[in-house]
Structure 1
C-alpha cells in the first residue's frame, strides 16, 4: 500500500468523547528471591492522557516495545491498570471486576494481531463467530446460525463455510473471521492490535478497506495499533506517536504527516518508503543512534533525549509536558520542529525561528 493514499473528500462527522484516558499507567513488577520481593518494575505504559470521539479512528504508532499493545489491552480491560483512569461513555471502568465488565464486553471489543493463534483450531468457524452470542446470552433474530452466516457474508466470506475449521482458511480469511467475531454484538469501540501486520501486503489493503467500510456502516470507533505509517495514514483521523511508554505527539493525520513537531516523529516519517525516486533521493533520511532504553530504568527528563539530535541539557533533567503547540496538535518536546515563533535576541533584532 502506498503512503501517498488520497484523503477522503468529506470529513467524518464525529460525536462527543466516547473514551477518555487520564494518566494511564501499567507497571509490571519484577520479583526475585525466595520471598518474591519486588525489586523493580517494567514501566510499559507511564502516564497516557488522550480521548477518542465517537466515530473516530485514533492510531497509536511507535517502535516495538513502546507500550502500544499494552495500552490496547488496558483499554479493553484485559489488563488491570496500575494507575490512572479509563472512562467509557461517562463511566469509570478502570478497576471494574470481571463480572462488572462482562455486560460492557458487548460495547468494547478487540481485533488481535495474529489471525493464526487468536482462533481456536478445535472449533468450527460457526462456533467461533457465534461464541459472543452464547457468552452474552443474546438470541439474535433468526437464530445464531443465520446471524453468523450474515456476519461471514458481511466480511467477504462464503456463508456456506460455517462448518469449516480455521486451518482451512488463509491468513487474510482468518483475520476476516476474527473481525466477524468482533462485530457479532455490534460494539461501539474496537481496539485493533496491528490487524494487518501478519498479512501479505496484497491482502492488507483489502482488510483495511473492509475496516473502513464497516466503520461507515455501523458507526464504529477504532483505536488502531500499528507500526506501518502508510497504513496509519490511510485509516486514521488522528495519530498518537508513542515512545517508551509515553505519548510524544498527537495530532490529526494531515498535520502530523505534513508538519511533525517531535523529533522522534520526524525520524519515523523519514523512514517511510516513497515510491517516487526523485522525492526519495531529495528527502533526508534520519538514522537514530543507539537502542531504545530499558523500560525498567528509563532515562530522566525527556525519554527520547538519549537518541535525539536536538537534545540539550534541559532535556536530560526536565520532562517536557504534552502541550498544545498549535490547535489540535500536541507535542512533548522542549525544542519542537516545524513551529514558527517570533523571538527577540539581546541585540533587539526580531527573528523568526
Structure 2
C-alpha cells in the first residue's frame, strides 16, 4: 500500500484569547481547527468548503506550516512535520507551496516580476544566477503571460494577471503539493474560469496535488473529485463530488448546496428549494456541546446535545463519511 502524499490526523489549532489590562492572561481559546483528519494522494485534489470562519484557511496555513499546530499530526510522505523546526522545514518548502487569496497584497509592489518569481530560486540556490532570468521567463510563459514583461511591477498588471504571477511563483520550486486558498474569489467572474482552467492544466502537466480551499461550491465541483465540508472547526462530511452534490448526507451540506443555482432545474422552469439556516454561527471560543451544528439544525434531538457524532463511513468500504446522528 503506497503512502499518501499528505495525511492529516486529528489536527487542532487553538488560538489563545487574552484579557485586556495591565496584566494580560489567557481567558480562553478560539478553537479554529478542532480535530480534523484527511488524506491527499499524489496528483490528487481535495476541496475544502464551508462558511467564513469555519477554519478552512487555518488548515491551509497549518499544512504549509505557516502556523505550528496545537496538536495532531501532519504527515508529508510519511514524515510528521507538525513540530518541525525552521531549519528542518526549509527543504520541505520546495515541496509545499501556497497560492494566496488576494493577488493585490500577496505580491511585493517594490519588486519586479523577475525578482518576485526568482526569489525562491535564489533562496534555495537551485539555478545559477545567470540562468534565473531564463527560468522566470519559462514560468511566465507556462502561466500564460508575456515572458518579455519580466521587468514590470505588479501594479502594471490586472488582477487576473497578478494571480498568474502568484501561481508562477508557487511553481518555481516544482512543488508536489499546492495549497490554493480561495485563489479566484478576489477576481472578476469572467477571469475566474480562466485561472481555474490554468490550474487544472498545471495539475495534469506537472502531476501536482491540490488542497483547494473555497466557499464557492460550483468552482470546487469543477476542480476537485473529492470534497470535504467544514463547520466551526470540524469536518462534517467528506465524499466524492457527484455523491455530495446529488445526495448530501449532512444537513449543513444540504443547506449549503441549496444555495447553489441549479442549471438543470432552471432549464425546465423549476427551482431548487432553498434551506435558510436560522441563527448565527456559534462562537468558536465556546462551541455548542455535542454536535456543533445542532443549534441551527432542523433535525436536532436530545442526543445531538450530549454526544458528538464522529466522522465515519456511511457504509463499510464506502468512500463517503458523515458526522451526524441523523444523516439524510
Shorter-chain TM range is: over 0.9
Question: Shift of the alpha carbon at 1:79?
Answer: 0.3
2:281 is matched with which residue?
292
Tell whether 2:142 aligns with 1:150. Answer: no
Question: Shift of the alpha carbon at 1:241?
Answer: 0.1
C-alpha contact 2:99 2:183 (8 A) present in aligned 1: yes
1:172-321 aligned at under 5 Å gives the runs 172-275=160-263, 276-277=265-266, 281-321=270-310
Q: 2:326 aligns with which of 332, 335, 339?
A: 335
CA RMSD of aligned residues (A): 1.3
C-alpha contact 2:3 2:78 (8 A) present in aligned 1: no
Structure-1 separation of matches of 2:117 and 2:23: 44
Structure-2 separation of matches of 1:176 and 1:143: 21
C-alpha contact 1:140 1:147 (8 A) present in aligned 2: no
C-alpha contact 1:126 1:162 (8 A) present in aligned 2: yes
How many residue pairs match? The answer is 323
Structure-1 separation of matches of 2:298 and 2:200: 38
Question: Shift of the alpha carbon at 1:280?
Answer: 6.8
Structure-1 separation of matches of 2:113 and 2:171: 14
Q: 1:165 aligns with which of 153, 166, 173?
A: 153
1:27 is matched with which residue?
14
1:198-254: CA deviations, max 9, x gaps? Answer: 000000000000000000000000000000000000000100000000000001111
CA change 1:143–1:92 in 2 (3 A) is same
Question: Shift of the alpha carbon at 1:142?
Answer: 6.7
Q: Give unpaired runs (5+ residues) of structure 2.
A: none
Q: Which deviates more from structure 2 when the two are superposed, residues 248-257 or residues 30-39?
A: 30-39
1:342 is matched with which residue?
none
Q: 1:54 aligns with which of 33, 42, 62?
A: 42
Q: Give unpaired runs (5+ residues) of structure 1.
A: 1-14, 338-353
C-alpha contact 1:248 1:322 (8 A) present in aligned 2: yes
Structure-2 separation of matches of 1:101 and 1:313: 46
1:34-82: CA deviations, max 9, x gaps? Answer: 3321110100000001111111110100000000000000000000100
1:351 is matched with which residue?
none
TM-score by length of 2: 0.96
1:76-99: CA deviations, max 9, x gaps? Answer: 000010000000001110001111
1:273-322: CA deviations, max 9, x gaps? Answer: 23452567342110000110000100000000000011111011110000
Q: Which deviates more from structure 2 when the two are superposed, residues 47-56 or residues 272-281?
A: 272-281
C-alpha contact 2:9 2:36 (8 A) present in aligned 1: yes
Tell whether 2:99 aligns with 1:111. Answer: yes
Structure-2 separation of matches of 1:280 and 1:115: 39
1:312-342: CA deviations, max 9, x gaps? Answer: 11011110000100301000000001xxxxx
Question: Shift of the alpha carbon at 1:140?
Answer: 5.8
